[in-house]
Amino acid sequence: MPITESDIEKIAKLAHLEITDEERRALTPQIASIVAYVEQLNELDTSQVEPATGGFTPEGERTRAGRDDVRHRSLGQAAALDQAPDPSHGYFRVPKVL
């Protein structure tokens, strides 16, 4: 399925990006090329490949990727803010991001 300028417009809208007509025209072949490259993975025979569910140790042994879902006590507000660089009124103060 070829990537069209309409697809690029939809992607930009979903990403809340404003793009110009020129950018849309430039991005269409670039993204089409990326998608075509990634689609090459569908051509690989993976029927004999075991699903990877975790990491491996240097010796090649599997590691335990999951952990039990166990409740723990909360850290608490005072302990969480204890070493914060600039706490304010019981909250973390962070730089304003625009």
Give the CATH fold of the 5-43 domain. Histone, subunit A (1.10.20)
pTM above 0.85, yes or no: no
- Quick: pLDDT tens for 60-98: 666 666 778 899 899 999 999 998 998 999 899 988 887
At residue 1, the pLDDT reads: 74
- Quick: pLDDT tens for 74-84: 999 999 999 89
* Residue 28: closest CA among 3, 51, 48: 3
For the chain, the structural domain boundaries read 5-43
- Quick: pLDDT tens for 18-35: 999 999 999 999 999 999
At residue 21, the pLDDT reads: 95
Q: Bigger pLDDT: 52 or 31? A: 31
String of DSSP letters for 5-50: HHHHHHHHHHTT----HHHHHHHHHHHHHHHHHHHGGGGS--TTPP
Question: What is the signed CA dihedral for 39, 41, 45, 48, rounded to 10 degrees?
Answer: -140
